[in-house]
């Protein structure tokens, strides 16, 4: 019995006149109403709404840590399967066998990197290895071993004493023998874990999630001829039912996840941007405390206004102009910054950390991907505040990045898309973390920084590192370049998100005649969401909203993965039919 042909047409209703001409009114209006209601709810009682968001975040951390962990592991498994399986990997994401990619490899990679996690890497490449050097699962387990040993030996830990400091005092006094395998925080022994867990969070887990969504969308759009929107990727499972309410719900979920996912990214970027402005200008009102500078709400809101004005203008110019050129600019500036650390940073130390870190990451990856700790333990608390936070962030960010990657990847093969989209950004990030984070760690371990980098806020640590590397005038110039780079990443991410939201709302159309007004409206809506969340609790409130928004879309990605596998398997079977 012959296999039924695939669905190659999906009729998504769009309005044919007026303000919503070219747009699906149900998806567009419902999404706007939901976002508006969230903003009104937050602003109606800022303190109470912030507290409720925090409770919801803590609930998800406690109850969904296993779900998030195994979901991301599943995304990786499916993504690697479609890339490495010979017939699947050769599949071209386009209907023309002789079709050529729209963008050069450099521009393509620049847009992948810039729209993916370019903002985050500027903040976390400096901060995360430093934070993990002080606290990671290895040091937490070492603390448990020390406490157990002290208890067995009958030695009492003084109330309020630091476990590791007391342990080292006992060794020095010869009242306790050194314990094999114990990792002391902020020492060379903790380096392996510091980079291993940094690579875990920013490596394959992130990019496989993005690329899985991107491959699904590109396959069903360019190989099947379906609209470039989320519902198209589920046609092998739900067929023509996606033309109605079910498809609308899926697209609305994608829009909401995109808005809150990009809010998290922009929120972190704004904090780094404001910290950079303070580092350059020294203007007091930009930070709450000059000793431990954290950006004020006023500084964040001012930065938001500047970024969103520029983003709306760039989005109105389209992918081929504003976004493409901004992506190329920020990629050039990124490499200049990286070259600075390659030449003037702790080069040999960083190269050693890169090699050892990648080896440790690859060896431990299978176990790290599926390990879940009890959220009520210290290990579980670390996992929820770091790993689970990241998995939710990448999932919430996936509809935006996935549609954007699909939009710029026509006529690539699945294998090319996957390998370049996963391996190249991951390796690039590993280099960033090793050279920027490694330089900061080296400054601390050598005693030059004197603990000041450790004590700085997460978004200020890159500027602290630069301050220790250069004299004040040169440090100011380099910090200015970083601030400009942050601005280009912020604008690129925000304007890409606006175009993606418009694409979903228009039923998958890349270009809509009436799109300019809607780009402006969504730009204002995104700005309002971020501003309201900043007022309700700063970055913590944005994180809470993002984690909540990621929950429904995480399930949609699972369905998309199953749908893609079904489609590729059926295509392979059709090719063997007489």
DSSP assignment of 303-336: HHHHHHHHHHHHHHH-IIIIIHHHHHHHHHHHHH
Higher pLDDT residue, 401 or 237?
Answer: 237
Does residue 127 fall inside a structural domain? yes
- Helix axes 324-344 and 105-116, enclosed angle (nearest 10): 80
Q: Kindly indicate the confidence band of residue 320, based on its pLDDT and cuts at 50, 70 and 90.
A: very low
pLDDT score recorded for residue 116: 53
3-state SS assignment for residue 577: coil
Locus of tokens 């023309």: 96
Q: Kindly indicate the confidence band of residue 115, based on its pLDDT and cuts at 50, 70 and 90.
A: low
Does residue 197 fall inside a structural domain? yes
Does residue 406 fall inside a structural domain? yes
CATH of the domain at 310: 1.20.1740
With a CB cutoff of 8 Å and minimum separation 6, the contacts of 477 are none
pLDDT (average), residues 428-441:
92
Among residues 112, 192, 121, 108, the alpha carbon closest in space to that of 429 is found at: 121
pLDDT tens by residue, 121-159: 777 888 899 999 999 999 999 999 988 888 888 888 888
Does residue 41 fall inside a structural domain? yes
What is the DSSP secondary-structure string of 7-22? P-------B-SSTTBT
CA atoms lying within 13 Å on the CB side of residue 419: 10
Domain hosting residue 466, numbered range: 25-135+185-575
Does residue 246 fall inside a structural domain? yes
Among residues 18, 544, 23, 57, the alpha carbon closest in space to that of 251 is found at: 23
pLDDT (average), residues 38-62:
86
For 413, other C-beta atoms within 10 Å of its C-beta total 17
What integer best gives the mean pLDDT of the chain? 86
pLDDT (average), residues 347-362:
95
8 Å CB contact between 332 and 167: no
Does residue 164 fall inside a structural domain? no
pLDDT tens by residue, 229-280: 999 999 999 999 999 999 999 999 999 988 888 888 888 888 888 888 888 8
Lowest mean pLDDT among 91-100, 142-151, 424-433: 91-100
Does residue 288 fall inside a structural domain? yes
CA dist 525 to 256, 275, 383, 400, Å? Answer: 11, 25, 32, 16
Total domains in the fold of the chain: 1
pLDDT score recorded for residue 215: 94
Tokens of 343: 């030449």
Q: Cα(452)–Cα(454) distance, rounded to whole angstroms?
A: 5
Does residue 470 fall inside a structural domain? yes
Q: What percent of the chain has pLDDT over 70?
A: 94
């Amino acid at each position: 019995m012959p296999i039924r042909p695939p669905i190659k047409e999906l009729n998504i209703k769009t309005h044919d006149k007026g303000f919503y001409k070219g747009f699906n009114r149900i998806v567009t209006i419902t999404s706007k109403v939901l976002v508006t209601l969230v903003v009104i709810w937050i602003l109606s009682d800022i303190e109470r709404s912030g507290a409720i968001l925090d409770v919801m975040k803590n609930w998800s951390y406690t109850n969904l840590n296993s779900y998030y962990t195994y979901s991301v592991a599943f995304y990786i498994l499916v993504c690697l399967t479609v890339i490495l399986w010979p017939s699947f990997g050769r599949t071209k994401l386009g209907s023309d066998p002789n079709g050529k990619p729209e963008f050069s490899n450099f521009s393509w990679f620049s847009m992948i990197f810039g729209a993916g996690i370019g903002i985050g890497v500027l903040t976390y490449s400096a901060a995360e290895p430093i934070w993990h050097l002080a606290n990671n699962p290895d040091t937490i387990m070492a603390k448990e071993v020390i406490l157990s040993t002290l208890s067995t030996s009958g030695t009492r830990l003084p109330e309020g004493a630091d476990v590791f400091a007391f342990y080292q005092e006992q060794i020095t006094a010869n009242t306790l023998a050194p314990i094999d395998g114990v990792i002391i925080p902020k020492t060379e022994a903790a380096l392996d874990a510091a980079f291993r867990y940094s690579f875990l969070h920013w490596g394959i887990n992130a990019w496989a999630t993005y690329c899985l969504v991107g491959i699904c969308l590109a396959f069903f759009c360019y190989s099947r001829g379906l609209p470039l929107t989320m519902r198209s990727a589920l046609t092998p499972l739900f067929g023509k039912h996606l033309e109605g309410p079910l498809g609308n719900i899926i697209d609305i979920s994608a829009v909401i996840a995109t808005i809150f996912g990009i809010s998290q990214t922009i929120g972190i970027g704004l904090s780094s941007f404001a910290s950079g402005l303070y580092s350059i200008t020294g203007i007091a009102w930009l930070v709450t405390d000059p000793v431990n500078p954290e950006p004020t709400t006023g500084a964040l809101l001012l930065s938001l206004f500047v970024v969103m004005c520029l983003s709306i203008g760039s989005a109105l110019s389209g992918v081929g102009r504003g976004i493409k050129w901004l992506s190329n600019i920020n990629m050039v500036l990124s490499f200049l910054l990286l070259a600075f650390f390659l030449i003037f940073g702790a080069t040999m130390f960083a190269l050693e950390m890169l090699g050892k870190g990648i080896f440790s990451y690859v060896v431990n990856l299978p176990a790290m991907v599926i390990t879940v700790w009890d959220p009520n333990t210290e290990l579980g608390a670390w996992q929820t505040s770091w790993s689970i936070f990241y998995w939710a962030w990448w999932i919430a960010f996936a509809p935006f990045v996935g549609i954007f990657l699909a939009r710029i990847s026509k006529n690539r093969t699945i294998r090319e898309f996957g390998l370049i989209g996963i391996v190249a950004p991951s390796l690039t990030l590993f280099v960033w973390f090793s050279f920027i984070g490694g330089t900061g760690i080296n400054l601390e371990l050598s005693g030059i920084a004197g603990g000041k980098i450790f004590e700085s806020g997460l978004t200020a640590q890159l500027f602290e590192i630069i301050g220790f590397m250069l004299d004040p005038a040169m440090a100011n110039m380099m910090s200015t370049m970083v601030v400009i780079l942050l601005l280009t990443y912020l604008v690129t991410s925000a304007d890409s998100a606006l175009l993606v939201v418009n694409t979903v709302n228009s039923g998958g159309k890349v270009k809509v005649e009436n799109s300019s007004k809607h780009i402006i409206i969504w730009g204002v809506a995104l700005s309002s969401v971020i501003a309201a969340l900043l007022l309700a609790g700063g970055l913590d409130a944005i994180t809470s909203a993002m984690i909540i928004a990621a929950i429904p879309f995480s399930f949609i990605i699972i369905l998309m993965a199953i749908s893609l596998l079904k489609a590729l398997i059926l295509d392979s079977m059709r090719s063997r039919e007489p």
